[in-house]
Structure 1
Amino acid sequence: MKTVLISIFCSVIFMSNGFSQAKAEKDKLKYEAEMEKKKKEYISEFVGTLKVDDFQKEIIKQQMESYFTELQKINMIAGLRDFERKTYVQNLDDSHFRDLKAMITEEQMSKIMDALKGKWDRSEEKKKKKKEKKRKKKNKS
């Protein structure tokens, strides 16, 4: 009887542990999907603010998405020291947008790099758009 109770107790513990791991995995996948959605939204909002044609916007979107993928790979490398990681990121910054630099202005390229580094402010961009609309309305009157 003791062995039956002990085996039931152990099986309950192992099953609850398995369920918690499955829940953690499910939460992780949900979080990753949410972050991917936010990343795409961020990129599309940012690219919408650039004054380039649709073809260039699509290329910029693709380049930014691939940049974030490469950056994630660099950050996932275990055992990298901080200065090594910074070196890899700097090399990525220097080499990843070479083709794009030939297509767009230096001002737009610096704006893209600011967005990649997290220095782009959505609310500030919205304020600028509102001011431009007000100016255009005044000039039409």
Structure 2
Amino acid sequence: MKTLLISILCSVLFISTGFSQAAEEKQRLKYEAEMETKKKEYINDFVGSIEVDDFQKEIIKQKMESYFDEYKKINLLGLREFEHKAYVQKLDDTHFVDLKAMITEKQMGQIMDALKGKWSHSDEKKKKKKEKKRKKKKNKS
């Protein structure tokens, strides 16, 4: 009888942990998919705001996506802070070498700001709105 109760208890525990792990995995996959869509939206918004031709926009978009993928890989390594910073700095220095030849230094600075989280889509909208107001005022005068 004791053996039966112990085996039932153990099976219930194993089954419940299995269900909770499946739920956690499902939640993690949902979170990753959501983050992927936000990343693509962020990149598309940024690339739409930068003033370059369509070919350069496509290359910038691809480079930014691959940069974020490499950055994610670095984060998954579980390095110490100073090692992490060194890897990220190396990534920053080497990942956009070929792109630097195609665009201006100002545009490269905008890209790096966007990668580091210093670019905000709402800031760009505000600037464009102010610019439109100025043009309308100027045209009325």
Matched, 1:72 2:72: yes
Calculate percent identity across the aligned residue pairs: 74
Task: Quote the Cα distance in structure 2 between the aligned partners of 1:6 and 1:85.
Answer: 47
After superposition, the C-alpha distances for 1:35-69 in whole angstroms (9 at most, x for unaligned) are 11111111111111001111111110000000111
Greater alpha carbon shift after TM alignment, 127-136 vs 21-30: 127-136
SS in 1 for 2:118: coil
Which structure 2 segments of 5+ residues have no match? Answer: none
Could you tell me how far 1:8 is from its partner in structure 2?
Answer: 1.5
TM-score, L = length of structure 1 = 0.92
Q: Let me know the Cα RMSD of the aligned residues.
A: 1.3
Matched, 1:55 2:51: no
What amino acid maps onto 2:128 in structure 1? K
Task: Quote the Cα distance in structure 2 between the aligned partners of 1:9 and 1:97.
Answer: 57
Which structure 1 segments of 5+ residues have no match? Answer: none
Aligned equivalent of 1:128:
127
Could you tell me how far 1:136 is from its partner in structure 2?
Answer: 3.0
Task: Quote the Cα distance in structure 1 between the aligned partners of 2:137 and 2:54.
Answer: 29
Could you tell me how far 1:139 is from its partner in structure 2?
Answer: 4.1
